[in-house]
A = this chain, B = another copy of it.
Amino acid sequence: MAVNDYIRANQDKFLNELLDLLRIPSVSADPKFKNDVISAAKFVADAMEKAGADLVEICETPGYPIVYGEKIIDPSLPTVLVYGHYDVQPADPYELWDSPPFEPVIKNTKIHPEGAIFARGSADDKGQFYMHIKAFEAMMAENELVCNVKFMIEGEEEVGSDNLEKFVVENKERLKSDVILISDTHMISMQNPSITVGLRGMAYMEVEVIGANRDLHSGTYGGAVANPINILCQMISSMLDENNHVTIPGFYDKVQALTEEQRKRLNAAPFDLNEYKEKLDIADVHGEKGYTTIERVGIRPTLDVNGIWGGYIGEGAKTVLPSKANAKISMRLVPDQDWHEIATLFEDYFKSVAPKSVKVKVKSHHGGSPAVVSDSSVGYRAAEAAMEETFGKRPIPTREGGSIPIVALFQKELATDPILFGFGLDTDALHSPNEHYGVKNYFIGIETIAAFFKKFRDLSQS
């Protein structure tokens, strides 16, 4: 079809535009990148306009703006709403990057023999949402747009989408659609395309354990005064038992148990444990007793320390008994755990296990609800058919361990099941140094999205 010809003819242009977007260090978690995050929003608005969108608007929020744009070709046709985010994770530790995180380079890898773009945000999510703008451009250019389209690209996904809910609630009419597309997940592999139908939620906590009112000499006071690091380690350790079950009372109360049949289907997905261990260079996996690796990331909740610090961390030895110790701890949640409730259970438990010799502070960062989406809706079937056309293989439904809290939000507020139409791979090093996104994935994604519009129109009208 003409759209694919256009995409193939414009590969260099499509790639260079993405590289320009990746050069903007739009790290939403760190205030020092504030101007860059705002530049990224402008970039996105410009790109939408150039591709042919109407009513493009950089919608201000108390945080970073949401970029909206649309093209209504015929109100009687089905409408596709695209969600994505232009903000990225922090890039530290910088020293572990083989090339600077905001100077994208294309290199061949074993998994991406046709090249991958190395840059923070290449897969999460700039490279993925930008495919939608390019597919739209191609359909517009070739006069083959067969559904109405709306874009909502936000800038706070990596810090909890704090201002999105209000925007969605206040703009229900404007955001009305028949399907929502989100490309912010991964497939099993290029040979085994898949569509994510389950995501975990998250509660993200930060804790501080405080001992004496100042750092002390570990000789003069050691053994007699609480060491906040020792205590923090004990408290963290007490939250997981020997089977790697979380011990916080009530933590599992609302966890949905899957039937044996459901578990069997889940475990039928292609998965090679040896290859998995080899890629990560680990001698063994590590997780909750009684569950497979696929289940541990797909249908079971977790408790992971994402960061810890306290005392002297410079070179050499310093014999300090520190005044305090801190940690960032997140819990991935599964249906029907409620993140506000889990955050409260965590806080109560953490305070209850603190010895009298220390004070503790607990703070809740952003959180999000877990979600499961239908694998039989019109949208899902259109996505399935589009992928089958471009990959030559029918995709399978999977559950992914990550969190996209807005999925549950969209389900609730817009009453529409999003399609998690991700084209990345789990080896793309999301949130890690050397994040990358396959060049081939980028282009096949654009073609698949264009194919989706046709399939969705057809299935909607049949």
Contacts and interface: CB of A to CB of B under 8 A. Distances in A.
Contacts of A237: 230, 233-234, 236-238
A171 interface: no
Given A285-B357, A312-B92, A319 B431 contact: yes
A365 B316 contact: yes
A305 B230 contact: yes
Interface in A426-456: 426, 429-434
A204 interface: yes
Contact of A29 (B310, B311, B316, B429): B316
Contacts of A285: 224-226, 357
A297 interface: yes
Contacts of A265: none
A267 to B, nearest CB: 13
B304 A328 contact: no
Interface residues of A, number: 101
B302 A222 contact: yes
A209 to B, nearest CB: 11
Contacts of A29: 314-318
A322 B92 CA distance: 11
A402 B306 contact: no
B212 A304 contact: no
Interface of chain A, helix or strand or loop or mixed? loop
Contacts of A186: 220
A357 B287 CA distance: 10
A251 to B, nearest CB: 13
Copies assembled: 2
Contacts of A148: none
Contacts of A112: none
A53 to B, nearest CB: 31
Contacts of A261: none
A282 B225 contact: yes
A223 B287 contact: yes
Contacts of A314: 29-30, 90, 92
Contact of A220 (B316, B355, B426): B426
Interface of A: 29-31, 89-90, 92-93, 96, 159-160, 186, 200, 202, 204, 206, 211-227, 229-234, 236-238, 240, 280-288, 293, 296-297, 300-322, 325-328, 330, 332, 355-359, 365-366, 400-403, 426, 429-434
Given A304-B321, A306-B312, 19 more contacts: A30-B315, A90-B314, A159-B317, A204-B317, A213-B280, A214-B433, A215-B431, A215-B433, A223-B288, A223-B304, A223-B401, A224-B287, A229-B305, A230-B237, A230-B303, A230-B305, A233-B236, A307-B310, A307-B320
In the A-B complex, list the 5 residue pairs whose CB atoms are closest, starting with the nearest.
Answer: A219-B402, A29-B316, A226-B286, A286-B357, A307-B311
9 contacts: A29-B315, A214-B432, A220-B430, A224-B296, A230-B304, A284-B355, A305-B311, A307-B312, A308-B311
